[in-house]
Amino acid sequence: MKVTSLELRPGGELSYAMTAVAAEQVAPGIEAYDVGTVVEFQATAAGVKLVVTVDAMHDEVWTERARAGNESQLRKLDALLGTH
């Protein structure tokens, strides 16, 4: 993975490129494509609500893997913040 831009501010952007290198990942011959992710922080009476919206990937299997990975990372954040 190579980060090409990182702007940590409201309206900022994180852009990066991930490249398949394992033979089984390269074998399907999937062309490069963009996957958008939007992260929103919403003020609530109880604190802050985090909403993450991610585009689908090239097939359901990889979309599910991405969803599971994002949920895993958010659970780690939740545990770190002590909000679980």
pLDDT at 84 over 60: no
Count structural domains, the chain: 1
Tens-digit pLDDT profile for residues 12-66 = 999 999 888 888 888 888 888 999 999 999 999 998 898 999 999 999 999 999 9
pLDDT of residue 6: 95
Instruction: Label residue 83 by pLDDT band (50, 70, 90).
Output: low
Domain boundaries, position 72: 2-81
Burial 61-84 (b: 16+ CB within 10 A, else e): eeeeebeeeeeeeeeeeeeeeeee
